[in-house]
Amino acid sequence: MNEDQKSLILKSSSHFPPPPGVKLSYGTAGFRADASILQSTVYRVGILAALRSLKTQCVIGLMITASHNKVTDNGVKIADPSGGMLSQDWEPFSDQLANEPDPQSLVSLIEEFVKKERIPFNGKHPAEVLLGRDTRPSGESLLEAAKQGISAVVGAVAHDMGILTTPQLHWMVRARNKGLKATESDYFEQLLSSFRCLMNLIPDRGTSNETEDKLIVDGANGVGGEKLEVIKEKLNELDIEVRNSGKEGGVLNEGVGADFVQKEKVVPHGFGSNHAGIRCASLDGDADRLVYFLVPPNNCSKIDLVDGDKILSLFAVFIKEQLSILEEDTKGSNNYKARLGAVQTAYANGASTYYLRHLGLEVALAPTGVKFLHEKAAQYDIGIYFEANGHGTILFSERFLSWLEDKNQELSSTHEGSEQKKAALRLLAVSKLINQAVGDALSGLLLVETILRHMGWSIHQWNALYQDLPSRQLKVKVGDRTAVVTANAETVAVKPPGIQEAINVETAKYPNGRSFIRPSGTEDVVRVYAEASTQEAADKLANSVAELVDRFLGFRSS
Ligand SMILES: CC(=O)N[C@H]1[C@@H](OP(=O)(O)O)O[C@H](CO)[C@@H](O)[C@@H]1O
Ligand SMILES: [Mg+2]
C-alpha cells in the first residue's frame, strides 16, 4: 500500500466513525443492526469488498439487507466470487475492520492485513464490486456509504445494480465471474427458459392431474413480491397471485413473510378463510427463503406448514426419479452412478431425516448457517441442502454436469425422444433453473411448481410425503449467550458443564423426544428446539429445557 492509498483511507474514514460502545460481529448473515448505527459498518464493508476483489482478482458482491428482520434494521454482507458467502477466514478481519474506532489504527490494520494476505495492489484487474439492496428505506443512504468505502481503495469500481433480492445479486456475481451474461434481465431469462424447458418435459398422463392451478404468494412486503410481479408478467403457464407485494402499504416483515409463517405457524396478514385449501407460499424480506402453507378450512389462524424440509424432500424425490431413469440405460457406453446427498441442520424435523434416509439418500448434518450447509452439499455430485426455515438450493458438481452434457449428446444420437433423454434434459434444466450460488425463493418456487405438475400432485399430496413430528422453538434471553458452546453440528451442548446431561434427563421423559440448545448467530438469545410425539409433549419439553437454560445461564441478581 503506498502513501496515497493510506492517506485516501485516512481521509475518507474520518467521515465514518463507528458508533461508540457498539461492537458488531460478522455472523451467519453478515453484519446486522438498527439501520441508524450502520453507516460506518457499511462503509468499512465497502473497503473489505474492494480488498476481497483485489485478493481474488474477481468481481465481488455487497448486499445491503436485513432479510426477515424488522424494517428499521438493516445489514450488509459480501458475496464471494463463486456467488457464495464470504470465506470464513476473512470474518475475523471483518470484525476488526468494523469495530476499529481510530482512523490511523484502521489504516495500520488494513496495511497489515494486505501484507499478510499478499493482496496485489497492482494486479491485472482493479477491484470491482456489484452493489445491491432490498426495499428498506435506509438502503439508499447505506448504499452511499458502501460506495464511499469502495472508492477509498484506489482504482476500485462500484456498480450499483439497484434494488434486488439477495439471491439475484449472488447469481450476478457468480455469472460475471464465469464470464456469462449477468444483468437482471439475464437472470429472469435463465429462470424462465429453464422453467419452460421443464414444463415442456412434463409427462402426458392422458388424464388431468391433481395440481390445482392457483398459487397465492405472500411477498413479505419486500423485494421478492416486486420481482415476482415481473416474473408473473412473463409467465402464462402459472396462475400466480401476489399478496403483500409492498404496494398495498403493508410494512416489511410485519405479520408477513416466510420467517413469520414458519416460526409462528399462523396465516400471514392478507390471507384468510377464503384461501382455505389453496396452495400458498411465503417469501422472506430479501427472498432467499421460501415456505409453502395451507390455510385449513375450519381453524383459520393456524396453518399447515410445508417447510424447507419438505421442499428438500420434493426435490429429492424428483431428482432421484430422473437419476433412476438414466441408470436404466445400461446399454450406453457412458454410465455413471451419481452421489445424491441431502444436507440439513439440527432444526430439520426428525420425520424428514427419516424419510430422506428411506428414500436412499445420504443425509449429512451441518451447523446452522447456509455457509456450512453449502460447503457440505458441494461434496456430492448433486447435493440438496435446506434449512427448515426454507433457505436452500441444489448444487451440481462440475464433474457431474459435464458427464450429463456428454450423456445428453450420446442420447441425442441413439435415444432421441426416449425417457432417458428426457431425464437428462430435465436434470440439465434444473441445474439452470435453481440458483446454485445461494438459496433463492423465486427460482425455488418455479422448481416446486414444475415438480408438482410433473408428479401430478396437489399440495396435500406433497405434504403427505411424511408427517412432521410436533415441534416447538423458544428463545431465552441470557446474560451471555456465548457461554453456550456446542458440538456435533449443534446437537450437543458441551458448555456450560452439566447442562447437556440435564437436557438428556428431560428428553428421556418423552417418546420420540429430541431437544437441543444453541446461541443464535443473529439475535442476542439462546434458542431452544424440542420435538416429540405430541404437540403437548414438544411444548413441555421445550419449556423445561428453556428453564434449564435460564437456571444455568439466566440473569443473576447479584
Ligand atoms: C433457527 C433459525 O431459523 N435460525 C436462522 C437464523 O440464525 P440464528 O443463528 O438461529 O439466529 O438466521 C440465519 C440467517 O438468516 C439462518 O441461517 C438460520 O437458519
Ligand atoms: Mg433472507
CA dist., res. 545 & res. 558, Å (int): 23
Q: What is the pLDDT of residue 110?
A: 97
pLDDT at 558 over 50: no
CA dist., res. 151 & res. 19, Å (int): 22
Q: What is the pLDDT of residue 344?
A: 98
Task: Look at residue 286 and give its three-state secondary structure.
Answer: coil
Q: What is the pLDDT of residue 208?
A: 53
pLDDT band for position 143 (50/70/90)? very high
- Comparing 523 with 545, the larger pLDDT belongs to 545
Strand ranges, E, within 223-319: 239-243, 279-283, 290-294, 304-306
- Comparing 295 with 208, the larger pLDDT belongs to 295
Residue 251 contacts by C-beta under 8 Å, 6 or more apart in sequence?
71, 221
pLDDT at 300 over 70: no
Residue 139: CB atoms within 10 A of its CB come to 20
Q: Which of 32, 473, 522, 527 to mutate to test the pocket of ligand 1 (most atoms within 8 A of CB)?
A: 522
**Ligand 1 contact via 368 beta carbon (within 6 Å):** yes
Closest CA to 139 of 67, 247, 65: 65
**Ligand 1 contact via 25 beta carbon (within 6 Å):** no
Phi, psi of 57 (to 5 degrees): 55, 35
Residue 24: CB atoms within 10 A of its CB come to 22
Q: What is the pLDDT of residue 543?
A: 98
Q: What is the pLDDT of residue 266?
A: 92
67 is catalytic: yes
Q: What is the pLDDT of residue 332?
A: 63
- What ligand 1 atom has the least distance to the C-alpha of 370? 17
Q: What is the pLDDT of residue 135?
A: 97
Residue 480: CB atoms within 10 A of its CB come to 11
Cell of 127: 477491484
**Ligand 1 contact via 28 beta carbon (within 6 Å):** yes
pLDDT band for position 209 (50/70/90)? low
Q: How far apart are the CA of 259 and the centre of ligand 2, in A?
A: 8
Phi, psi of 242 (to 5 degrees): -100, 125
Distances (CA, A) of 488 to 13, 422, 530: 42, 41, 17
What percent of the chain stands above pLDDT 70?
A: 97
Residue with CA nearest ligand 1 atom 14: 29
Q: What is the pLDDT of residue 85?
A: 94
Average pLDDT estimate for 210-236: 91
Say which ligand is closest to the CA of 220. Answer: 2
Average pLDDT estimate for 389-401: 97
pLDDT at 104 over 50: yes
pTM above 0.90, yes or no: yes
Q: What number is the ipTM of this complex? A: 0.98
pLDDT band for position 124 (50/70/90)? confident
- Comparing 390 with 329, the larger pLDDT belongs to 390
Q: What is the pLDDT of residues 351-361, one digit of tens each?
A: 999 999 999 99
Q: Which of 477, 520, 529 to mutate to test the pocket of ligand 1 (most atoms within 8 A of CB)?
A: 520
Q: Map out the domains of the chain with their CATH numbers.
A: 3-163 (3.40.120.10), 471-553 (3.30.310.50)
pLDDT band for position 249 (50/70/90)? confident
Q: What is the pLDDT of residues 409-430, one digit of tens each?
A: 998 887 778 899 999 999 999 9
Q: Which of 368, 385, 386, 473 to mutate to test the pocket of ligand 1 (most atoms within 8 A of CB)?
A: 368
pLDDT band for position 234 (50/70/90)? very high
pLDDT mean across residues, the chain: 94
Q: What is the pLDDT of residue 331?
A: 65
